[in-house]
Amino acid sequence: MPGIRCLVLSIALGLCTQMPLQAQITAWQLGGGHPWTGRDTVSVMIDFAKIDGAIQPIRIEPGTNIITLLDNWTTFRQPSELGYIDGERARIWKWNEGNGDPTENGVALIDADSTTYNSSKAEGIEKQFFTIDLAVPMPAQIFGFHAPSSGFRSNGTPLATDSTPAFQISVQEENQGTFGIKGGWPLDRVIAEPTQNFDANVHIEFNQQYVRFFRWVRKFSIIDETALSRVSGTSAGQGNQARALLGTISEFEVYGDGFPKRATYRSKITDLGIEQNFGRLFFAATPMRIVGGEAVETPDAEAFVEIEVRTGRDPDPNIYHEYTVTGKEKEVHRDRYENELRTGFSRTCASCDFVQRSPRPGMRAAITSDTANWTFWSTPTTQSGRPLNIDSGSFIQVYITLHSARFTDFVRLDSLWIEQAPLLAARVVGEIAPLADPHPARGIAQVPLGEMIDFAYDLSASFSGTEQAGFDAVRIQTGSQPRFKELWIDGQITAPSEITEDSDGLTVVLLERVTAANNAPLRVVFAAEVFELATTFIGEVTDSRTQTLPQPVIDGDAGQALSTNSLRVLSISGRQPAALQDLRFSTPVLTPNGDGVHDELRIDYQLFGLPERIPVNLEIYALDGRRVATVPQGQQTSGPQTARWDGRNENGEALPPGVYLIGVAVQSERNGDTALRPLGLAY
């Protein structure tokens, strides 16, 4: 393992060496002499101090309150802070009588100060609870809470002896979308529910497990009834009480041993100065295990690193909106959105839950992704040396997750670096269509599955300066064995300098370099088979004569000869589905941002020839053909049917914005009929 690490580091040093000509390759780097601290916007359970130049998860020592290892707590179930992302910030919130309660938001209960507390008051027993979100699953085994170290109740009783008569504690490992449900308790597993408690300092031990959420609920006890009877002279039942509840809490505590299930690091958005092409992502990581109290390098440790990257052409990946007088949205600057506009939610009373206001000027509307200038996060990378396959940009951001599947195991990340090189052209735009159907209906290229089809792949380059050296080779990923047919330059068939056909792609080398002074439109004609529901014919251009990085071809309008403006091709079965027909969407773009406009997609279709009720699923695919969600619609039979979708997967998690293929899958005995249509998802 040490030898492998030295080899990787030597490669990194080589990349940083200045190379000749304009096409030099350098590296953007974190770690390995470049600091981690100060270059992050989010770090959850990241240890910067153990090893110089490296990061690893914080080790949770027995006797250390895990709550004290987290900072930047928010006290809302649904934080309104700009940029809040689930799992990147710890939370504690109170739910009281079905309403969020800002008067006791939990700050005093996680501040590690035994003298601060929320005063006891008359409340409904079993109708109020605190929920603690540790942001990531922790290897927990003890949950505790205790009374204040000083102070007195109104009757003179010392708070240090003011025990909570009965309570319930439940836990949950991950966010399963249950926290917005009023009265949604307990969580997945109840670890304690004593009916009589006289201890003011409570420590509940349970089997060690990964826990992210704890929920503390006040329960009713015979002790409560006895205490209330002394005051009122009558038997007290559950519900609102005539006096402050017994039990005052000063602190919640969580203890464990080992490493969190994951630790996360999100870098700042880094300005590279000029737009760059990006190549491979390298990193030096060491799997470790605690053996006999010491960290030991262990190749088979159940821990790994996962890295995502996104790039952009301006400093902010988001677009901010304000409502107009007509209830529509208009784009505004972030400063106005953050500092001048009001949130779309308000309270009608101090203890009431947030309710949404009617859209009007001066109110915040949606925050959407700036897809014109920023890429989405790349596919998570777990192997060093893999190409990023990401668009060029002058800004870059990295998201790192350190995973541990065992309490004693962790991964240490020494450094990461990304190849970068100047642009070959300002932009290279491409689009594809079947040669026999250059202007397909609705602009979507569709071909039969498993048939050899002739495709036209058009390219158009633009240049913005003499420093962009140009290119002389085109690489197209076809996903199957292609056959080159023709090369057209400026409308004329031209012989290429070299052709390479392999099992999943085609490379065409030109006789002359495409430059600002020699810039004619290109067309590559080839034949290939399509075997996926959706295939993206990823393209890139490069310079075969110098050491450089390829530049991605981006979707767009490369010319009037084709009208798809896309590198994607959808497949069809070659026949009209027998069971499923007349598929219709209520909107081409779903925007589930809570503004009441296109928050939900209605899908209408008709089922034919079914002898009985059969299962129907809503299936959502990424454009590369991966199924990202399956949402069951229950049993359906012949006739008109309707399905609805809110942009979430079967676990209630919101899918990232983008274009998806939405399918209604009918599982009959005869076949599994699926109809697919593209849908945009934006927030």
Q: What one-character-per-residue DSSP string does 210-250 give?
A: EEEEEEEEE---HHHHHHHHHHHSS---SSS-SSPPS----
pLDDT tens readout for residues 150-179: 989 888 889 999 999 999 999 999 987 555
Q: What would the pLDDT profile of 607-649 be if each residue is shown by its tens digit?
A: 766 656 788 888 999 887 788 888 888 888 766 788 888 898 8
Q: What is the mean pLDDT of residues 478-499?
A: 95
Q: What is the mean pLDDT of the chain?
A: 85
pLDDT value of position 638: 67
List pLDDT tens digits, range 194-236: 999 999 999 999 999 999 999 999 998 887 776 656 554 444 4
pLDDT above 90 (res 441): no
Determine the Cα–Cα distance for residues 69 and 122; give it in Å rounded to an integer: 33
Q: Give the mean pLDDT of 244-265.
A: 94
In the predicted structure, residue 25 carries a pLDDT above the cut 70:
yes
pLDDT top residue among 92 and 356? 92
243: pLDDT strictly greater than 80: no
Whether the per-residue pLDDT at 9 is higher than 80: the answer is no
Please enumerate in sequence order all residues whose Cβ is within 8 A of that of 473, keeping only pairs 6 or more positions apart, or say none.
507, 508, 509, 510, 541, 542, 543, 544
Task: Please give the single-letter amino acid code of residue 463.
Answer: F
What residue has token string 């008109």?
640
Q: Higher confidence at residue 601 or residue 52?
A: 601
DSSP designation for 334: H
What class is the 66-256 domain? mainly beta
The answer on pLDDT for 434 being more than 50 is yes
- What pLDDT, on a 0 to 100 scale, did the predictor assign at position 298? 97
Sheet holding 534-536, edge to edge: 445-448, 568-572, 534-536
Share of the chain above pLDDT 90, in %: 53
Query: 437 pLDDT exceeds 80?
Result: yes
Q: pLDDT, tens digit, for every residue of 510-537?
A: 999 999 999 999 999 999 988 777 789 9
- pLDDT surpasses 80 at 456: yes
User: In whole angstroms, what is the distance from residue 377 CA to residue 400 CA?
Assistant: 11
User: Rounded to an integer, what distance in angstroms lies between the CA atom of residue 261 and that of residue 546?
Assistant: 45
In contact, 526 and 483? CB cutoff 8 Å: yes
Judge whether 66-256 and 427-572 match in fold: no
Decide if pLDDT at 22 tops 50. Answer: no
Three-state SS for 335? helix
Q: Which pTM was predicted?
A: 0.76
- Tens-digit pLDDT profile for residues 280-326: 999 999 999 999 999 999 999 999 999 999 999 999 999 999 999 88
What separation in angstroms does the CA of 411 have from each of 8, 40, 293, 301?
A: 17, 19, 16, 8
Indicate the CATH number of 2-58+266-315+374-421 among 2.130.10, 2.60.120, 3.30.70, 3.40.50: 2.60.120
427-572 folds as Immunoglobulin-like (2.60.40)
**Going along 359-495, which residue ranges are E strands?**
364-369, 386-387, 393-404, 409-422, 427-434, 445-448, 452-462, 471-477, 483-489, 492-493
CA 279 to chain CA centroid, Å, is 23
Q: Does the domain made of 580-681 have the CATH classification 3.40.50.300?
A: no
Query: 113-117, 268-272, 273-277: lowest mean pLDDT where?
Result: 113-117
Question: In the chain, where are the structural domains located?
Answer: 2-58+266-315+374-421, 66-256, 318-369, 427-572, 580-681
Query: How high is the pLDDT of residue 682?
Result: 87
| Structure tokens given for 82 | 């700009």
Please tell me the predicted confidence (pLDDT) of residue 527: 97
CB 246 within 8 A of CB 227: yes
pLDDT in tens, 93-105: 888 765 655 556 7
* Residue 107, SS3 per DSSP: helix
Where are the extended beta strands (E) located within 575-655? 580-585, 589-590, 601-607, 614-621, 627-636, 639-645
Residue type, 210: Y
Predicted confidence at residue 154, as pLDDT, reads 80
pLDDT the model gives residue 227: 61
